[in-house]
Amino acid sequence: MTITVPPRAESLARERTRGGVVLELVNCRRTYGKVHALDAFSITVAPGELVALLGPSGCGKTTALRAVAGLEQLDEGRVFVGGEDITHVSPHRRNVGMVFQAYSLFPNMNALANVAFGLEVRRVPAAERHKRAGELLELVGLAPLAERYPHELSGGQQQRVALARALCVEPRLLLLDEPLSALDAKVRSQLRDEIRRIQLEVGITTLFVTHDQEEALSIADRVGVMRAGRLEQLGPPAEVYSTPTSNFVAEFVGSVSRLPGEMKAPDTVAVLGARLAVPASAGAGLRAGQKVDVLVRPESIRMRPTPDGPAVVARASFLGAVVRVVAALPDGVEVTSTLPASEGFTFPAGARADIDLLGDILFVVARPPAT
């Protein structure tokens, strides 16, 4: 499955940033005491690409981002922007634009002055920098609020101003540190699409850090899943979602249903009464006869209410677009399935149901031996 990205819209002549530059981190390591915030972390971001770093808190994604900005020192490793080694360049000379989670606007300046700040530091004359700042406020849709001070702006508006401010100096890179985490849900999804639209329009190489997998999947060209300072998997959203290369990635990037199964051959597993092929990415080193857990997405499990089906419905929840059903297999294991509500099936508790596996297996994990 490929994702089609809409062609880049005509922008206001941003010649220099169109096309963007390559961002490369090579073998970066950062330790605090005994904790490895970053551990042999390497990644390359293509020009104009948006890569989302996704992971739980403490996985090192923010450390990686801040290392690119120069706000964190690396113990080992290098950072290259457009081929230039900036590892030891101080942050105010790196020319990277950064948007923080919250509270980053300067309180003593209004929105326009905030956006124009980078140009002010570069001694651009007032008239010109105010004009530029005005253009950027237009880009983020906040032109009428130019005179407002940060404390007079909502969270979402503040983040837009922060984005405009970061882009105003035409940086080579855009770094976003969980920019939506402090906002409420509705604003979050609106702003998320806005950020992507602007990023495509400007064509700037972007690194986006988040712990929200829906955010990462929806806007990124590629998603990098991180854990304990390392990159577990890097690939387009669909790939990371459908063909995870580890148990951790499978469980982090979306919900997971576990089914008991048994390997019949190194590449075949018996599950739910059927024999299915195990994709190469989904499990290695498994032998025939091994008891395993088969991980699938809940929407890959099909349940139908049937009078003499093997599974017994425990509970069903109506979630608007989908129905989530939890049913117990004959051996007691509970399985979660998500069905489109439009299919109209009802699953009263205690009813019997048929379970089928559609779609691919996500991942297969050897079941730990019973103690």
Partner 1 sequence: MKSAGSGARRFRFLAAIGVVPFLGYVAFFLIIPAGSVMIQAFRDNNGRLSLSNLATVLSSQQPWLHSYVVSLELSAVSALIAAVLGLVGTVALVSSSNLLARRLVTTACGVLANTGGVPLAFAFIATIGNAGVATHVLAEIGFNPYDHGFSLFSFTGLVIVYLYFLLPLVVLLTLPPVEALRREWREAAATLGASPRSYWQKVGLPVLTPPLIATLMVLFMDAFAAYATAQALTTGSVPLVPIEIGALLAGNVVSNQANLGDALGFGMIVIVVAAGVLYVLVQRRTARWLR
Question: Where along the sequence are the contacts to partner 1 (CB under 8 A)?
Answer: 69-71, 90-98, 100-108, 117-118, 120-122, 149, 151, 162, 165-166, 169, 175
Distance, in Å, from the CA atom of 77 to the CA atom of 341, rounded to the nearest integer, reads: 50
Distance, in Å, from the CA atom of 147 to the CA atom of 133, rounded to the nearest integer, reads: 12
Residue 107 CB, nearest distance to partner 1 (Å)?
4
Residue 121 CB, nearest distance to partner 1 (Å)?
5
Nearer to partner 1, 118 or 224 (CB): 118
Nearer to partner 1, 124 or 295 (CB): 124
Residue 115 CB, nearest distance to partner 1 (Å)?
10
Nearer to partner 1, 166 or 223 (CB): 166
- DSSP letter string over 120-135? HHTT--HHHHHHHHHH
Q: Position of tokens 């390559």? A: 22
Nearer to partner 1, 90 or 371 (CB): 90
The tokens describing 354, both together, are 């048929």
Nearer to partner 1, 38 or 99 (CB): 99
CB 289 within 8 A of CB 262: yes
Residue 206 CB, nearest distance to partner 1 (Å)?
14
Residue 67 CB, nearest distance to partner 1 (Å)?
13
Residue 169 CB, nearest distance to partner 1 (Å)?
6
Residue 344's H or E segment, with its range, is none
CB 139 within 8 A of CB 171: no
Nearer to partner 1, 119 or 259 (CB): 119
Exposed e or buried b for every residue in 279-308, given b needs 16+ CB within 10 A? eebbbeebeeebebbbbbbbbbbebebeee
Distance, in Å, from the CA atom of 77 to the CA atom of 73, rounded to the nearest integer, reads: 10
